[in-house]
Structure 1
Amino acid sequence: MKLLLSLVTAFIFFFQTDIEALRNSYAKANLSNANTEAFINLAEKQSGSDAVTNGYKAAAQIMEAKITKKNRKALVKTGATSLESIIKSNPNTIELRVIRLSVQENIPKIVGYRGSIKDDKAFLMSNYSKQNATLKSYVKKFVMQSKSFTDAERATIK
C-alpha cells in the first residue's frame, strides 16, 4: 500500500508544473517547520526567472528566518526588499499580491513588514473576477483561510 501511495505521489509531482508545485508547497508551508523547509528547498531549486517564481523565492527567504537561528533579520530584510521590488515591477500580478499579503499576515508584528495588507486585500477583491480558473481557485483558497478578510468579503469570492 505504501509503495502504491509513493508511486502515485511521485507520478503527480512528476507531471506537476513547477509553479503548481510552488503554489501547493507554499499553501502548506506555515503548517509545520518541516513543510516550511520543504517549501524553501523547492523554491531554491527553481530555475525559472519569471516574476511569480521570484516572488515565491523571496517568500522562501523570509520564511527561512522562521526556522533558522542566525541572520534572521537579514533574511527577512533581503526577502522583503526583493518581494517589494518584484511587485513594483509587476503591480498587476495577483499571485504576487497573494504572496505578499500572506507573508505580511503571518510575520510577527514586531518585524514591521505589514504596510501593504489593506492595499493587497483591495487589489485581490477588485481583480479576482479577471483571473483564469486556476488563479481564481488559488486566490479563493487563500481568501477563505485569511484573517484579513471578513465573512462578507469571503462571500463575494465565488
Structure 2
Amino acid sequence: MLFKLKYILITATLLLFAPVNQGNATVRDDITEPNLHVIRKLLVSAINSGKITDSLYRNLGAIKNRTALINGYMATLEALKAKHTWNPYFKIKYLNNAEKTFKTAVTGDPHNIEIRFMRFSVEHNVPGFLGYTKNLVADREEIITQLDRKHYSSADAALVKTIINFLLDSKRCTPAEHGKLSQHLASL
C-alpha cells in the first residue's frame, strides 16, 4: 500500500508539469505551466490525504511566477493542511494563511469561477464560529454571475457541473439562484 502511494505521488508529480497539448511534437525545456487536470485530480485526493496535500503544496510552491489560479490552489492546500493537522495552533495558522492567499488570488483574477469556488467550498466547510465565512455570499453571487455570462475561465464542463452541484447541495442559495443553477446544469 505504501509503495502504491509513493508510486502515485511520483507519477502525479511528473504529470503535473507535463504539457497540456500532447499533439505538439516539440519538447519545451521551460515548462512552467502545470497541468490543471492533474492538479484538480490531486486536489480531490488531497482532501483525504495529508501526504498528497504536502506533496502538491511543495510542487506548486516551487512555481516562480504563480498565476492567480495557482494561488487559489495554494490557498486551498493551506486550508487542507489545517484539516490534516491535529495541532490547534497550526490549524488557525494554516487557515489564516489560506485566507490571505485566497485574497491574493481573487484580487489577481476576481471573475475566475474556479478560484471563487475553491474559496466558497473552504469557507462552507470551516466551522462558522471560527469567522472564516465572510466571503460566502460574494463568492456565490460572483460564481452565478459568471455562469450566467457563460464565462468559465479555465473551468471545463465537468468542473462547471461540479461547481453547480456543490452550490445546489450547499443549501446556501436563494430559491431564485437555485432555479438559475438548475437551468445551467440542465443546459450542460
**TM over 0.5, shorter chain:** yes
- The residue type equivalent to 1:41 in the other structure is S
- The residue type equivalent to 1:84 in the other structure is K
Q: Would the alpha carbon gap of residues 136 and 122 (structure 1) be closer, same or farther in structure 2, given more than 3 Å must change?
A: farther
- 2:59 corresponds in structure 1 to 45
How much has 1:104 moved relative to structure 2?
0.6
SS where residue 42 of structure 1 aligns? helix
How much has 1:84 moved relative to structure 2?
1.2
Higher mean Cα deviation, 59-68 or 17-26? 17-26
How much has 1:57 moved relative to structure 2?
0.8
Q: Would the alpha carbon gap of residues 133 and 111 (structure 1) be closer, same or farther in structure 2, given more than 3 Å must change?
A: closer
Give the CA RMSD over aligned residues.
2.8
Contact residue 75 and residue 99 of structure 2 kept, 8 A = yes
Separation (CA, whole Å) in 1 of partners of 2:117 and 2:54: 17
Contact residue 58 and residue 83 of structure 1 kept, 8 A = yes
Sequence identity, in percent?
A: 17
Residues 31-66 of structure 1: CA distance to partner in whole angstroms, max 9, x if unpaired? Answer: x3x2x5413421321243111111111111121111
The alignment of Structure 1 onto Structure 2 pairs a total of residues equal to 148
- The residue type equivalent to 1:78 in the other structure is N
Give the gaps of 5 or more residues in structure 2.
Answer: 1-6, 21-33
Q: Would the alpha carbon gap of residues 133 and 52 (structure 1) be closer, same or farther in structure 2, given more than 3 Å must change?
A: closer
1:100 aligns with 2:119: yes
- The residue type equivalent to 2:131 in the other structure is G
Q: Pick from 140, 144, 169: which aligns with 1:121?
A: 140
SS where residue 73 of structure 1 aligns? helix
- 1:3 corresponds in structure 2 to none
Residues 104-135 of structure 1: CA distance to partner in whole angstroms, max 9, x if unpaired? Answer: 11111122111111111111111121226843
- 2:28 corresponds in structure 1 to none
- 1:145 corresponds in structure 2 to 166
How much has 1:77 moved relative to structure 2?
0.6
Structure with the largest fraction of helix:
1
1:154 aligns with 2:171: no
Q: Would the alpha carbon gap of residues 42 and 122 (structure 1) be closer, same or farther in structure 2, given more than 3 Å must change?
A: same
1:64 aligns with 2:81: yes
Separation (CA, whole Å) in 1 of partners of 2:100 and 2:69: 15
Separation (CA, whole Å) in 1 of partners of 2:102 and 2:153: 23
Separation (CA, whole Å) in 2 of partners of 1:39 and 1:18: 17
How much has 1:21 moved relative to structure 2?
1.5
Separation (CA, whole Å) in 2 of partners of 1:98 and 1:28: 17
How much has 1:28 moved relative to structure 2?
4.3
Provide TM-score, normalisation by structure 1. 0.77
Provide TM-score, normalisation by structure 2. 0.66
Give the gaps of 5 or more residues in structure 1.
Answer: 1-5
| Larger Cα-atom Rg | 2
- The residue type equivalent to 1:111 in the other structure is L
